[in-house]
Amino acid sequence: MLRPTTTSSSITDGIRVSVTSKYIPEQSVPRLKRFVWAYTIRIANESTSAAKLVSRHWVIVDANQKVEEVRGPGVVGEQPRLEPGASFQYTSGCVLQTGRGTMRGEYQMVRDDGSEFDAEIAAFALELPTSLN
């Protein structure tokens, strides 16, 4: 099985989710088991109908296989509605107790006709820039 990279991209029902993660050394304190990453996500509507992001679900796994699930409304305090051709980008963060991990999840989306679907957030790695294998 291939390990995730620090970028990912997936498309579900015309919604493309692209992610890039970056280690933030100035906010991390490795000797205290605090490792901080920022991730930037771009959600693009490549379909022919509008869709609204109503909630999120994250599965975060650290190098010790500790799993944390996060659920909540919207992203960064917003529930963006994306017209066809529109996109929404935001940056958020994640703190782990290990120097490596992964994140994956989905956004719960609703079309104007009331239909619902989960837009996949493909797995991406949280790694120190010096990590090998």
49-103: per-residue pLDDT in tens?
Answer: 999 999 999 999 999 999 999 999 999 999 999 999 999 999 999 999 999 999 9
At 11-64, the pLDDT tens digits run 999 999 999 999 999 999 999 999 999 999 999 999 999 999 999 999 999 999
Q: Decide which of 3.40.250.10, 3.30.70.100, 2.60.40.1470, 3.40.30.10 is the CATH code for 7-127.
A: 2.60.40.1470
Structure tokens at 24: 């933030």
Does position 112 have pLDDT exceeding 90, yes or no? Answer: yes
Q: Which residues in 63-95 are b (16+ Cβ under 10 Å) and which e?
A: beeeeeeeeeeebeeeebbbeeeeebeeeeebe
Tokens of 128: 């120190």
